[in-house]
Amino acid sequence: MTAPVSRRPILGWHGAELGGQSLKVLLIDDHPLIREGLRGILRQFDKSVTILEAGSAYTGLDIAARTPDLELVLLDLHMPDMHGLEALDQFADQYIDLPVVVLSASCDRNTVNSALQRGAAGFIPKSAVSEVLVSALRLVLAGGIYVPPEVVGRGAPPPVDAPPMMITQTSRGAQQTASTLGLTDRQSEVLGLLVQGKTNKAICRDLNLAEATVKVHVRAILRALNVATRTQAVIAANRMGIKVGV
């Protein structure tokens, strides 16, 4: 099995806006008109954006393998050669730091949950207006997870720019603490910063730790939560109602 590729942190994970500096995005959709519409939205927002395109999942994965500075993927779920969830699995396995946002005409709760559980950084309905798409991408590039308000649950939908803890569902059971999962106090602090969307470098600064030490703590957190990605860790922590040290 090919070892997962660790990408350099993208600008957005440091809080930069899409329009602040040039961004490299891969659009994977078999409908040229959909890609054309997405190109228009991205270029209206950031004239310097670099847009790569693929009409199939396999082509998209091949482009990602040849583009080490790729910073964001927009992936359609319904592809002719591979289901989008399968493609999402491959992206999560091969590119651990590359955010993948799912675009789909289907927006039922099970589909959205499946995508998020497999590591998607967001799920945007194709019916969403351009303002929603832009706001969702801002959130994702800032380290959040965009979930369509209509599938979050009962009550008022969360704002598009809400932090990750506000847009992921939490369980109704009793809250757990990080220590019950076997995490140390320091790992609890790291988990708290992960939930806030902080990068490893930001966590290093906040906790005065070496980057290698933070990586060790992050790996321990992923094992404790039985997940494979940082995105899944945020979702799991919120659904389990875990109290953290930050």
Strands 50-54 and 72-76: unpaired
The mean of the pLDDT values for the chain is 76
**pLDDT score for 240:** 67
Taken in order of first residue, the domains within the chain and their CATH numbers are: 11-162 (3.40.50.2300), 178-239 (1.10.10.10)
Question: Residue 134: is its pLDDT beyond 60?
Answer: yes
Question: Residue 101: is its pLDDT beyond 60?
Answer: yes
Query: Which residues have CB under 8 Å from 57's CB, separation 6+?
Result: 28, 75, 79, 81, 82, 84, 86, 87
Q: Where residue 44 falls among pLDDT bands split at 50, 70, 90?
A: confident
Question: Residue 230: is its pLDDT beyond 70?
Answer: yes
Q: Looking at per-residue confidence, does 79 or 233 come out higher?
A: 79
**pLDDT score for 152:** 60
> What's the Cα-to-Cα distance from 202 to each of 95, 133, 144, 149, 188, rounded to whole Å?
20, 27, 15, 29, 16
Average pLDDT over residues 146-153: 72
| DSSP codes joined into one string, 87-104 | HHHHHHHHBTT--EEEEE
**pLDDT score for 60:** 95
| pLDDT > 90: percent of the chain | 17
Query: Cα–Cα distance between 136 and 43 in angstroms, integer?
Result: 16
**pLDDT score for 106:** 80
* Residue type (1 letter), 45: F
* Residue type (1 letter), 14: H
| Residue 154: both structure tokens together | 């009962």
**pLDDT score for 177:** 66
Question: Residue 229: is its pLDDT beyond 80?
Answer: no
